Amino acid sequence: MLRFLQLEWFKIRSNRAFWIILFLNLLAFVGFLQVIANTYRNVTSSEEKNGKIEILRPFFEKPFSYPEIWQTSAFFLSFLVPLSAILVILNINNEWSSKMLRQHIIEGLNRKEFLLSKLIWLLVLTLIFTFFYVLANLFVASGEWEFSNTIFYFAILLFTQLSIAFVVALWIKRSVLAVTIFIAYMLIAEPLLIWFLKKNGLDSIVPFLPLEVSDRLILPPEVFKFFSPEEYKKRTDAIQEQIFYTMLESTLLWVFTFWRFEKKDL
């Protein structure tokens, strides 16, 4: 394992683009959450003819206090996954463009070892982005620090969706095309597919879609349950099942990738 980490470190230590995008991810996580939190707090402190909006204050401030902020921030920061995915896609594209993969094979690193090194590297990136998520919460939250299972759920979501980005980049050698396909599927294709399935009474399929399966690990802020209590409770009760389905689909994705990569023309 240490050998694989050293190999990946050797590739990225002088890669300026990697460090710039990584830093942009950190700024995006902290900045995006700060903007949302400030917007909420400005709304609750705004003045109306009848004075401050005291009735709404508990609903708008609570999402940014421990422990609920973990859920609130995970919901909003999950929209930044495409930015994190760019880092993964560029990393794989660098293997193709520099013909580094072929060089590894010539030097004795077999295909399974190459994929294993990338799997370990993806786990490291997941930990890094999860740390950014925790750091963003520390900057924004109020109240006494409190642990939440949502940290674990967010890490699973990151690993699952970054794995999909990795597989897309592995089969599509051009980074711009790979990024376009991944983001188009995330923002356009899957939402349209969800709409189509629900419209045709096929709601039971929706929780198993490639991105939706992990998206359902993250609940919307608790304020949303006032708009649809039954749906919110249903999503809450299904969290444990979604963890199982997400990890199962991630495992199958990697197993298939290992199997198919053995036959890929390099």
DSSP state of 218: S
pLDDT beyond 60 at 48: no
Is there a contact between 92 and 166 (Cβ–Cβ < 8 Å)? yes
Contact 43, 60 (CB under 8 A): yes
Tell me the two tokens of residue 98.
Answer: 């520099």
Average pLDDT over residues 222-236: 77
Among 60-74, 116-130, 155-169, the least confident range: 60-74
Please write the tens of the pLDDT for every residue from 107-151. Answer: 566 778 888 888 999 999 999 999 999 999 999 987 778 889 999
- Are 172 and 90 in contact, with CB atoms under 8 Å apart? no
The position carrying tokens 């709601």 is: 203
Strands (E), the chain: 47-48, 51-52
Distance CA 95, CA 209 (A): 29
pLDDT over 70 at 162, yes or no = yes
User: Do residues 95 and 101 touch, judged by C-beta distance below 8 A?
Assistant: yes
Beta bridge partners of 51: 48
The pLDDT tens digits of the residues spanning 15-24 come to: 788 899 999 9
Contact indicator for 208, 193 with CB cutoff of 8 Å:
no
Distances in whole angstroms, Cα of residue 143 to Cα of each of 58, 138, 139, 188, 218 = 14, 10, 12, 38, 22
Which pLDDT tens digit goes with each residue over 241-258? 999 999 999 999 999 999
The SS3 call for residue 67 is coil
